[in-house]
């Protein structure tokens, strides 16, 4: 009896796996969309930065494929602004986290 419950639970958990994958993919897509489209009224990251995986080729800021910033560094730049880059404080906490992890992943941060 116990074993059967265990088996049923394992099966139920296994069937959840594909949706977890789909969720991870959704957040990559959302991060990419934020990077490329931005959130009005702020200019989009893609306007100023090159990031190949996002199809972005902006030339004003550093090339993120070369810089390969980790998520903390991206987050800091967005929160505080840096040099000519405005701060992105009007983004929600979730949007900042999503962008930071998207950029770090897409740029292949070490």
> Contact residues for ligand HEC (CB under 6 A)?
43, 45, 47-49, 60-62, 67, 69, 73-74, 77-78, 82-85, 88, 99, 103
Q: Is 5 or 51 the residue whose CB approaches ligand HEC more closely?
A: 51
CB of 103 to ligand HEC, least distance (A): 5
- The residue whose Cβ lies closest to ligand HEC is 83
d(CA 26, CA 18): 12
- Closest to 57 in 3D by CA, of 84, 35, 34: 35
Query: Which tokens belong to 2?
Result: 């116990």
CB of 42 to ligand HEC, least distance (A): 7
d(CA 27, CA 45): 17
């Amino acid at each position: 009896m116990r074993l059967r419950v265990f088996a049923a639970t394992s099966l139920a958990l296994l069937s959840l796996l594909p949706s977890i994958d789909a969720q991870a993919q959704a957040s990559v897509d959302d991060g990419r969309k934020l990077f490329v489209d931005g959130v009005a009224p702020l200019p989009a990251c893609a306007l100023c930065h090159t990031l190949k995986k996002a199809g972005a080729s902006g030339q004003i800021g550093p090339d993120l494929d070369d810089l390969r910033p980790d998520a903390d560094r991206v987050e800091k730049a967005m929160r505080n602004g840096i040099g000519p880059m405005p701060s992105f404080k009007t983004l929600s906490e979730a949007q900042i986290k999503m962008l930071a992890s998207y950029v770090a992943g897409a740029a292949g941060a070490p």
